A = this chain, B = another copy of it.
Amino acid sequence: MDDDTRTAHWERRTEMPLALTSVLFFTSYAIRVLGHGLPRPWPSACVAVMLGAWAVFAVDYAVRWRLSGQGPHFVRKHWLDTVVLLLPLLRPLRVVKVYEAVQRRRGRPRLTLHARVITYAGLAVSLLGFAGALAVYQQERTAPGATIHTFGDAVWWACATLATVGYGDVAPVTPVGRLVAVAMMACGLALLGAVTGSFSSWLLQVFAGEGTEKPPGGNEKPPGG
């Protein structure tokens, strides 16, 4: 069994456990940020779970590094994985692997190209938006002069930002909050561009009559759109 086969094998076996760990990580983070009125043991427990989840991510990264046999080049070649390891809030970017695994396991036929892009990028953008709203809320909640007071405000701000509408009625004022916002703009807009572009080209295709071999339900919208 050569290195590539081993890596593929490892990735297939760790897909679902890693996805569950990610869910655990985000749930703990959400409880940590939103449950600021919870009694003493809760916050510490959440931090512990987050650290544990992060340790799992680190072990996965180390094993894949070892299996690849690439030495120091691995860090640069898998830069996306490296970034995601250092900033676990960007994990939603890896949602595509989980999604493909789920589809494979359930024996479903693959969706059409446009539907896949819309589903993947839409999912990633929603999760990133949620993570960004959490992170900004944590920073802004107690900042002086902040306009984001509740988590609802943070979600509203995240939606307005990802749609590039940007009302400005609520906006981050702390340096860290603004850094998160810029990262969200960069990741989110590119992914949202993919969603919009796919949707538009799918619409054009349907209208061009090339879409006569519609999915059995006769839907006129791609799943997940």
Residues of B contacting A203 with CB < 8 Å? 117, 121, 194
CA distance A127 to B14 in the complex (A): 40
Stretch at the interface among A29-37, A46-54, A101-109, A153-161: A153-161
Q: Does A78 contact B (CB under 8 A)?
A: yes
A165 adjacent to B159 (CB under 8 Å): no
Stretch at the interface among A55-63, A133-141, A214-222: A214-222
Q: Which of B173, B181, B217 contacts A78 (CB 8 A)?
A: B217
Q: A190-B225, A217-B77 are in contact. Are A185 and B199 (CB under 8 A)?
A: no
Among residues of B, the one whose C-beta sits closest to the C-beta of A4 is B218
B171 adjacent to A167 (CB under 8 Å): yes
**Chain A residues touching B, majority SS:** helix
CA distance A38 to B27 in the complex (A): 48
Q: Does A175 contact B (CB under 8 A)?
A: yes
Q: A166-B166, A194-B203, A216-B77 are in contact. Are A159 and B185 (CB under 8 A)?
A: yes
Residues of B contacting A171 with CB < 8 Å? 167, 169
A196 adjacent to B193 (CB under 8 Å): yes
Q: Does A152 contact B (CB under 8 A)?
A: yes
Residues of B contacting A199 with CB < 8 Å? 190, 193-194
Q: Does A223 contact B (CB under 8 A)?
A: yes
Q: Does A23 contact B (CB under 8 A)?
A: no
Residues of B contacting A77 with CB < 8 Å? 215-219
Q: Does A79 contact B (CB under 8 A)?
A: yes
CA distance A166 to B195 in the complex (A): 21
Within 8 A of B (CB), among A93-137: 96, 113, 116-117, 120-121
Q: Taking each of A74, A76, A203, which has the highest tally of chain B beta carbons within 10 Å of its own beta carbon?
A: A203
Q: List 8 A-B contacts (CB under 8 A).
A: A76-B217, A79-B221, A117-B204, A163-B186, A164-B166, A167-B168, A193-B196, A194-B204
